Amino acid sequence: MSVQSALALVAAAGVIAFGLRTSMIIGLANVSLHPRIERGLSYIGPAVLASLAMNFAFGSAGGISVHAPQVLALIAGLGIALWKRNLLLSLAVAMPVLWISSAVLV
């Protein structure tokens, strides 16, 4: 691939990535939304985050990969998040659960 064609691809990709990110923020900047639509937009966050969590936890190239240590670590993280509402504590508990259960179960 030549430098010119690679640069053209990178530049076009940069414009598209920028457009996707700014589209709604700029497009809706001067628009008053119906309260029902505003409420609907508040559902995007939880839905996307839960989907991201499951995808990053169990998605792998070409398939789903579910193993007990990962499941246990996620349950531990979820439990601490529900109980203490503290992200760092959730991580501090869940990662050792992952390492210990990986050492014991795998």
Partner 1 sequence: MADQNTSPVRRGILDTLPLALGAIPFGLVVGIAAADSAMPPFVAWLLSPLIFAGAAQLGLLTVAGSATMFAALLTLTVVNARHVMYSAALATEFKRHPRWFRWVGASLIVDQNFALALPHIGAEPVWFRRYWMSASLLMWFNWLVTTGVGEVVGGSIPSSWQIQFAIPILFVGLTISVVKTKPQLVGAMVGGIVGLACAGFPDRLGILIGAVAGVTAAVAFDYWSENAASKTSGAPGTCQESA
Q: Which amino acid is at 27?
A: G
Is position 104 an interface residue for partner 1 (rule: CB under 8 A)?
A: no
Q: Of residues 55-94, which lie at the interface with partner 1 (CB under 8 A)? A: 55-64, 70, 73-74, 77-78, 80-82, 85, 87-88, 90-91, 94
Buried/exposed code over 37-64 (b: 16+ C-beta within 10 A; e: otherwise): eeeeeeeeeeeeeeeeeeeeeeeeeeee
Is position 99 an interface residue for partner 1 (rule: CB under 8 A)?
A: yes
Query: Scanning the structure block, which residue is given the tokens 């601490």?
Result: 80
Q: Of residues 3-32, which lie at the interface with partner 1 (CB under 8 A)? A: 3, 5-14, 16-18, 20-29
- Among the listed residues 77, 73, 56, the one whose alpha carbon sits nearest the alpha carbon of residue 65: 56
Is position 105 an interface residue for partner 1 (rule: CB under 8 A)?
A: no
- Compute the least distance from the CB of residue 48 to partner 1, in Å: 4
